[in-house]
Every structure is written in C-alpha cells, then in structure tokens.
C-alpha cells in the first residue's frame, strides 16, 4: 500500500509504532502529486519544503502530516487567491485562524486547493485557473466550491483537507468525490482569515477520508476565537471520545425524498436504504413529509431556501467583495470574473428598493430564513438526526455549469435549508455507481453544536456499510 | 417582479464600480432575470408576524476592549507588501477631487 493512501488515523498509528516514516509518507504524496496534479488541476500552490517542516512537528497531535487547504484561507508563505485572478500572486501578511490551529497542532499545509472563484459555485469549474477534474472519473466535475480539497482527498494527494461551506460547498464536493465532508455549526469554527463570502453562513470544516479523521481535525480547529465574534463560547469536546457509541435509541428523520423531483432518483433510493440501515442498528426511523408551509412535524420545503439563499448570499457577497479596491493589495475590480460580477451586482440590486414590495427583499428573505430555523428547532426537539441526499444527482460532466446562472443553487438545494439555519451536517459516501465510478453522499444533519451526534451516526454508517473506499 | 434592462445593469455596475462590456451587460441582464424568477418564489411564503433573522446562533453584543493589540498589528512594510502602487511608504490612490 502506498502511504499517501493512509487515513489520518492510520498514519498517526503507524508513525507512533515507527512502522512508517514521515519521509516515506511525503515521498508517496509528492509522487502522486507529480503524477496527477497536472491532469486533475487540484493544487494551485504547493509547499515543496513541506517535508522539512513536517519533521519539526512529528510529536504534535497531527504528527507533521500533509493537509490540503482550500485557497480561500490566508496562509503566510503560500499565495492565496480564492481561485480569482484578481488576487493573483497575493501573499497574505497574516494567517487564518483555521490554518494557524492546524499548524499549531502539527499539521503541515502541503498546498492550496482549487475552488470556484471566490467560492461562488458548486463545480470548481468557475475557477479562474481552470476546472478541477473528479479523481473518480476525470470526465466529471468534482463539485464545489471546495472541489480541490475533496479531489485532493479522493486522489490521495493529502492525508486530510480543509474546505469551507456557505451552502453545500463542503458536503456536495465531498459527496461527488466519494469522501467525508463535515460542515460544522455556524460559529463552531472561526472564519478569521478565511476570504469572506456569505458572512452569516460561512463555516470552515474538514474534508477527509473517514469520519474518524473528520473528528480528529474538528478537535483541532473548533472553538471560540476572539478574532471572530460569531464563534461560540461553548466548550470544545473531544469528538473522537464517543464516536463509536452507535445509533441505538436514536430517532432518525428522513427529509426531502418525497419531493416530486427527488422521488424515484438513485439519490432518494439510497437514502431509503440508509434509513433501513439505521433501523437495523437500533434507531427508530421515520419519513418526514415535505411541506410548502411551516407545519408541525413536517420539513419545510427546500425550494424556498434556494430563494432565501440567493438573496442573502448575494447581498453579503456584494458587501464583502467591496473591499477589493485594488489599492492596498491585489488587482483592480476589472479582474472579477463573470460569476463574481453577477453576484455582486445582484446583491446590490437585492438590497435596493427596486424589487421591494412593501419591504426590502433582503428583509423578507431573512424572515423566511427564520422559518427554517424554527422548523429545524422544532424537528430536533423530536429527532436526534435528520438525513437526506446531499445532492439530487451524481457528479455532472465537465462543462455542465456553462450559461446556467442558478447551477449551484440547484445542485445544493437539499443542503441549503440546513446552511441557512446554521446547523451542522456531514456527508458520507452511501452509494457508488460501478459503471462511472461516481459516488452519492448521505447528508446527516444535527441540531446546533451537535457535531458529536452526527459524527456518531456517520461513523456507524461508514463502518456498517461498504461505501467508504478507505474502510477495508 | 420587475424586469432588469441593460440600462439597469449599467446603473448597478456603476454602483458596484465594476467595468462591464456591452456584451456582458446583455448576458448579465439575462442571468439577473432568471435569478429574479427564483427569488420571486419567496413571496409565496407567508411570513406575517415573523421576525427577520439577525444572528443564527443567538449571540448578542460580543464586544472587545477598544485597545490596540500589538499581536494583531502588521508592520508598515507588511501592509504595503501587496500593493502595486506605493510612494514614500504610502498607498497611491486615484485623485477624487480636482479643479475644473
């Protein structure tokens, strides 16, 4: 076995037993990068001196192992572009909170991964540096916006990775690439030094080979940060401690698969099977009916979430991207690509009076958002976890995004309600199409700060089914 | 829902300080109108008596002392390290006031 194929947990174990050396891990990882990075276009920048740094970190929790980081986290010493030519060559003067924590825990940032420019997309096809290809089948998209990080894991070009999710940008590429992606509760992980997209939504999180690896990374990056006022003061627990507790006695609700456009898809069928699996493991499982209005014991349709997200996200984008004036750093605003222009301008329009009825459409959208929060709070008073497909489909072929202004929102529609509410969710592989080699993801959602519970359920699923390619 | 014309796109582009070509204006207008159809779905939801969301996890008034924290400052050289236009340790900006 090549050492780049190791999970984070097994690499730590083997290093501790002195059965492998860091030098050999790096040798295999770099060999894979040299073989495949050109074709798959995963890393935009690589730290060639990573191994030397790793040796200094070998007694730390992450043992000097190579971590791939999405290119929207500021990293001192490695250029940071958010995949936009506007930031071409930008060298951050300070470190993001997430990468600072990763480095302090002995992780080594081996490189920066491709993404949709400014994280505006769900394909990694809108990167100004060209699309990333799905390592499971290079004719297909990896998903996005954290497509480079998911592809780095799927192709074993790193041991673990960091992504960020605003609405689906961790879970959807993780699903399409057959990896594990955890979107923590909003405020569980600091956004400081992450290039801001939708400030009320952005959630950094791990993309890994296994659920246990995800817990190991979350242990290091979660917590209150004085530089991000929205981080929660709730204490960080050891997410690996009760990981193997199982789902016995849990109440599981299945969401969205009764919707006419989802029903009968492979995605829906695989979720029914996941529900049956949880039942055999001792959970009680119920299908929750989708409703167009807020009703007790029903799940509010994901369809309104697309509209809410479109308004809120674009408004926040227009504000966040106002800082790129080309004066203090970076190129001028003519370097924004089509999608960024589109979103900035729609955001401005959405906050102007022009499309208001009696009130601003932005305020109206934030009211509908309140309904989603209320809906989830009520459902979680009754259920421990909620499950759904991550995406309605398998990965789409390269080129699928062209000319579709709403591409991302349609791919992410099943995870948008949870993102708007700010609750946590994890995607684990739950089906593989043998013909194409492509995967589907199971989305397990939990109440605010219930990462431990969704990790338990995800771990039970991963261990009890055959879909995770790293679990032998 | 109102339709967005290329004139409106032009106006918003000025507000956004983003240069757009004539061809882009047309493309953006098409995309905007498609997006507005999606946004229109919002108004089918009854929100009477619902408060808008301000902070999703319910945090309030997270404040800090109004003091400079030396650990969070960067040097003048660092601050200027990524600019394309500097002069005598300053950023160079476009002139905004001029005599007629």
Sheet containing A439-446: give its strands across: A43-46, A108-113, A66-70, A160-165, A203-208, A180-183, A424-432, A439-446, A385-389, A251-254, A284-287
The larger pLDDT score, comparing residue A409 to residue A293, is at: A293
In A, which residues are within 8 Å of B15 by CB distance?
Answer: 348
Dmax (CA) of chain B: 59
Instruction: Give yes or no: A199 in active site.
Output: no
Look up A145 and say whether it is catalytic.
Answer: yes
Distance set, CA A388 to CA A111, A204, A215, A301 (Å)? 32, 21, 21, 12
Establish, for the pair of chains A and B, how many residue pairs have beta carbons separated by less than 8 Å: 156
pLDDT digits (tens, 9 = 90+) for A360-391: 888 999 999 999 999 999 999 999 999 999 99
Per-residue pLDDT tens digits for B9-66? 999 999 999 999 999 999 999 988 888 888 888 888 999 999 999 999 989 889 988 9
ipTM: 0.93
Compute the distance between CA of residue A308 and CA of residue A9 in angstroms, rounded to an integer. 39
User: Do A371 and B45 make contact, defined as CB atoms within 8 angstroms?
Assistant: yes
- Tokens 């109206």, located at residue: A364
Give the mean model confidence (pLDDT) for residues A344-367. Answer: 81
Contacts (Cβ under 8 Å, ≥6 apart) of A427: A170, A171, A172, A174, A175, A180, A181, A182, A390, A441, A442, A443, A444
Least confident among A5-19, A71-85, A337-351, A434-448: A337-351
E strands, A266-378, in order: 284-287, 290-291, 299-300
Facing residue for A307 by CB, picked from B18, B27, B42 = B42
Residue A115's CB: how many other CB atoms inside 10 A?
33
Cα distance between residue A180 and residue A321, in whole Å = 30
The tens digit of pLDDT for each residue in A133-190 reads 999 999 999 999 999 999 999 999 999 999 999 999 999 999 999 999 999 999 999 9
Q: What is the pLDDT of residues A15-65, one digit of tens each?
A: 999 999 999 999 999 999 999 999 999 999 999 999 999 999 999 999 999
The residues, any chain, with a CB within 8 Å of residue B81's CB and separated by 6 or more, are A91, A93
pLDDT at A74 over 70: yes
pLDDT tier, A424 (very low <50, low <70, confident <90, very high otherwise): very high
Task: Name the 3-class secondary structure at A325.
Answer: coil
Any B CB within 8 A of A80 CB: no
Question: Among candidates A159, A190, A185, which has minimal Cα distance to A95?
Answer: A190
Any chain A CB within 8 A of the CB of B53?
Answer: yes
Pairwise CB contact (< 8 Å): B57 & A229: no
- Cα A324 to Cα B18: distance, rounded to the nearest angstrom: 11
Residue in A122, A145, A146, A232 annotated catalytic: A145
Terminal alpha carbon distance of chain B: 43
Q: Is A323 on the interface with B (CB under 8 A)?
A: no
A44, A114 Cβ separation under 8 angstroms: yes
* pLDDT for position B86: 95
Which residue out of B27, B33, B47, B48 would a mutagenesis test of the A interface target, given it has the greatest number of A Cβ atoms within 10 Å? B47
Q: Confidence class of residue A359 from pLDDT cuts 50, 70 and 90?
A: confident
Tokens of A234: 């709730």
Gap from A435 CA to chain B (nearest CA, Å):
35
Average pLDDT over residues A273-298: 96
By DSSP bridging, strand A290-291 and strand A299-300 are parallel
The closest of A138, A165, A160, A137 to A149, measured between CA atoms, is A160
- pLDDT at position B37 is 86
Residues of B within 8 A of A338 (CB-CB) are 24, 27
d(CA A47, CA B67): 36
The predicted-structure confidence for A37-49, as pLDDT tens digits, reads as follows 999 999 999 999 9
Look at residue B1 and tell me whether its pLDDT is greater than 60.
no
More confident residue, A405 or B72: B72
Residue A70 designated active-site: yes
The pLDDT score that the predictor gives to residue A355 is: 57
- How confident is the model over A317-332, as a mean pLDDT? 95
Q: Is the pTM of this model over 0.95?
A: yes
Interface test with A, best of B6, B16, B21 (most A CBs within 10 A): B16
Confidence at residue A221, expressed as pLDDT on a 0 to 100 scale? 98
Confidence of residue A260 (pLDDT cuts 50, 70, 90): confident
Q: Give A107's contacts (C-beta < 8 A, 6+ positions apart).
A: A57, A62, A64, A65, A66, A67, A160, A220
pLDDT score, position A193: 97
Provide the 10 A C-beta neighbour count for residue A127: 28
Contact A459, A425 (CB under 8 A): no
The minimal CB distance from A422 to the residues B9, B57, B78 is found for: B57
- List the single residue in A333, A357, A366 with the smallest CB-CB distance to B18: A333
Model confidence at A71: pLDDT above 80: yes
pLDDT at A354 over 60: no
Q: List the catalytic residue out of A169, A190, A214, A270.
A: A169
How buried is B79 (Cβ within 10 angstroms: 0-12 exposed, 13-18 middle, 19+ buried)? middle
Token pair for A449 = 């700060």
């Amino acid at each position: 076995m090549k050492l780049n194929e190791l999970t984070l947990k097994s690499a730590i174990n083997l290093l501790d037993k002195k059965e492998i050396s860091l030098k050999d891990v790096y040798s295999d990882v770099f060999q894979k990068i040299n073989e495949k990075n050109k074709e798959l276009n995963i890393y935009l920048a690589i730290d060639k001196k990573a191994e030397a740094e790793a040796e200094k970190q070998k007694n730390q929790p992450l043992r000097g192992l190579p971590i791939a980081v999405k290119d929207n986290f500021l990293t001192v010493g490695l250029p940071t572009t958010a995949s936009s030519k506007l930031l071409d060559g930008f060298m951050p003067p300070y470190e993001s909170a997430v990468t600072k924590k990763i480095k302090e825990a002995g992780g080594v940032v081996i490189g920066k991964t491709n993404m949709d420019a400014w994280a505006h997309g769900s394909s990694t096809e809108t990167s100004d540096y060209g699309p990333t290809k799905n390592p499971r089948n290079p004719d297909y998209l990896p998903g996005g916006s954290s497509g480079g990080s998911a592809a780095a894991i799927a192709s074993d070009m790193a041991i673990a990775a960091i992504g960020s999710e605003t609405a689906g940008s961790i879970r959807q590429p993780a699903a399409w690439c057959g990896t594990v992606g955890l979107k923590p509760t909003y405020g569980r992980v600091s956004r400081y030094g992450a290039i801001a997209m939708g400030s009320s939504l952005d959630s950094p999180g791990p993309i890994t080979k296994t659920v246990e690896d995800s817990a190991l990374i979350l242990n290091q990056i979660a917590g209150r940060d004085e530089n991000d006022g929205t981080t929660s003061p709730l204490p960080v627990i050891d997410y690996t401690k009760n990981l193997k507790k199982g789902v016995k006695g849990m109440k599981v609700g299945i969401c969205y698969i009764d919707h006419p456009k989802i029903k009968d898809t492979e995605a829906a069928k695989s979720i029914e099977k996941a529900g049956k699996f949880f039942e055999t493991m001792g959970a009680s499982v119920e299908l929750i009916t989708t409703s167009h209005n807020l009703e007790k014991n029903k799940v509010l349709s994901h369809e309104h979430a697309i509209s809410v997200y479109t308004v809120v996200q674009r408004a926040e984008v227009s504000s966040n991207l106002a800082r790129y004036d080309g004066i203090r750093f970076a190129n001028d605003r003519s370097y924004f690509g089509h999608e960024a222009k589109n979103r900035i301008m729609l955001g401005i329009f959405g906050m102007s009076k022009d499309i208001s009825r009696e009130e601003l459409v932005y305020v109206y959208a934030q009211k509908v958002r309140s309904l989603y929060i209320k809906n989830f709070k009520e459902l979680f008073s009754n259920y421990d976890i909620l499950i759904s497909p991550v995406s309605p489909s398998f990965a789409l072929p390269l080129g699928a995004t062209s000319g579709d202004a709403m591409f991302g929102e349609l791919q992410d529609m099943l995870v948008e309600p949870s993102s708007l509410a700010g609750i946590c969710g994890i995607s684990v592989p739950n089906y593989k199409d043998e013909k194409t080699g492509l995967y589907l993801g199971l989305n397990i959602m939990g109440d605010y700060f219930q990462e431990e519970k969704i990790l338990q359920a995800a771990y039970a699923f991963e261990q009890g089914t055959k879909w995770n390619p790293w679990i032998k | 829902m109102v339709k967005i014309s290329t004139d409106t796109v032009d106006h918003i582009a000025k507000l956004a300080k983003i240069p757009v070509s004539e061809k882009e204006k047309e493309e953006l207008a098409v995309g905007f109108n498609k997006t507005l159809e999606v946004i229109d779905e919002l108004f089918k939801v009854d929100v009477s008596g619902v408060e808008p969301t301000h902070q999703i996890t319910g945090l309030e008034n997270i404040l800090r002392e109004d003091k400079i924290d030396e650990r969070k400052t960067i040097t003048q050289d660092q601050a200027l390290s990524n600019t394309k236009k500097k002069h005598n340790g300053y950023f160079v900006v476009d002139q905004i006031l001029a005599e007629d």
